[in-house]
Structure 1
Amino acid sequence: MPPALIIFLIATPLLLFGARAALPGIPWKRYARPSSWVDIGLIALGAAGLVLHCVAMFYPSLIETIPGTGGYIQAVDGMSTASIVLYIVPAVIVLAGLRRQRPLALTLVAVTLIAVGVTMYDGGPLNVHLVAITAAALSLAFTTALLVLRPQRTGDRAAPGHAATGR
């Protein structure tokens, strides 16, 4: 994976969440939906799993510094059923965390994650896989930064168009 792409994939979410912290119009309240802390935890856990899978595939020496990860690296790098499961599980966890979001955003993230999986295991060109990774990372970063609202505190009014449960 080219270093410029890695920098882009790290910088984009940082910039988006920095903009979210600095600009009052972000997240887009008109389109955003509240999530629970469990949802946010699922998104973070799934995203960490996806990043770990990617790093194990492209930069296994970084993961090797963590004791006991040799089997994980071999499973991911083996491109076997175990590798597929180790990709699908965190992807599904991310989608479970996004389940309260607008169907279009959830679908976009799902389709891009499927594209990553297909291009990873179909034996096609690496550049197509890298484009799929970029699309998935951007769709997830934009969705979480622009559309995911923090859980409402008890006593807060529900967001317009949403029940008091925040769903």
Structure 2
Amino acid sequence: MPITLTAALVLVPALLFAARFLSKKLPWGKYARRSSRVDVTLLVIGVIGLVLHCVAMFYRSILAVIPGTDGYIAAVNAMGPASVVLYVVPALLVLIGLRRQRPVALVIVAVTLVAVCVTMYNGGPLSIHLVTIAAATVAIAGTAALLVKRPPDRHKPAVA
């Protein structure tokens, strides 16, 4: 994976979340929907799983520094059923975590995740796979940063 793409895959979500925290107009009130703590947790776990899958494929030596990751790295790079499961489960967690968001946003994220999966396992050109990874990154980060409202505060009583 080209280092410029890797930098962009880190920078774009960072900029989206920075914009969210710096702007009082984000998340977009008219389009945003509240997520539960469980939703946010599933989303984060799913994203971590997807990132680990990518790192195992493109930056093995970085992940190999963590003790006990050799089996995971081997399973991902074997491109067999275990690799598919290690991609699909985090992708499903992301979708479950975003399930309360606008249907169009959820469909965009789902389509990009399916595109990543198809281009990863169909033996096609790496360049197409990298484009789908970039699209999925923007879709997930954009949805999370611009549309996901914070879970309700547990300490405040609900207003009727």
* Length-normalised TM-score, structure 2: 0.96
In the TM superposition, residue 155 of structure 1 has moved relative to its aligned partner by 3.0
Number of aligned residue pairs: 158
Aligned to 1:161: none
Give deviations 1:50-78, integer Å, cap 9, x for gaps: 00000000111111111111110000000
Q: CA RMSD in A?
A: 1.0
Query: 1:115 & 1:145 partners in 2: Cα distance?
Result: 22
| 1:67 is aligned to 2:63 | no
* Aligned counterparts of 2:58 and 2:122: Cα–Cα separation in 1: 17
* C-alpha separation in 2, matches of 1:96 and 1:39: 7
| Distance in 2, Cα, partners of 1:22 & 1:89 | 33
Return the offset for 1:156.
5.2
Measure the CA separation in 2 of the matches of 1:155 and 1:104: 32
Q: Residue 41 of structure 2 aligns with which residue?
A: 41
Structure 2: runs of 5+ lacking an equivalent: none
In structure 2, the partner of 1:23 is 23
Unaligned runs of 5+ in 1: 158-163
Match for residue 155 of structure 1 among 144, 148, 157: 157
Deviations 1:92-146 (A, max 9, x none): 0010100101110001000000000000000000000000000000000100000
Counterpart residue number, 1:105:
105
Partner secondary structure for residue 76 of structure 1: helix
3-state SS in 2 of match to 1:89: helix
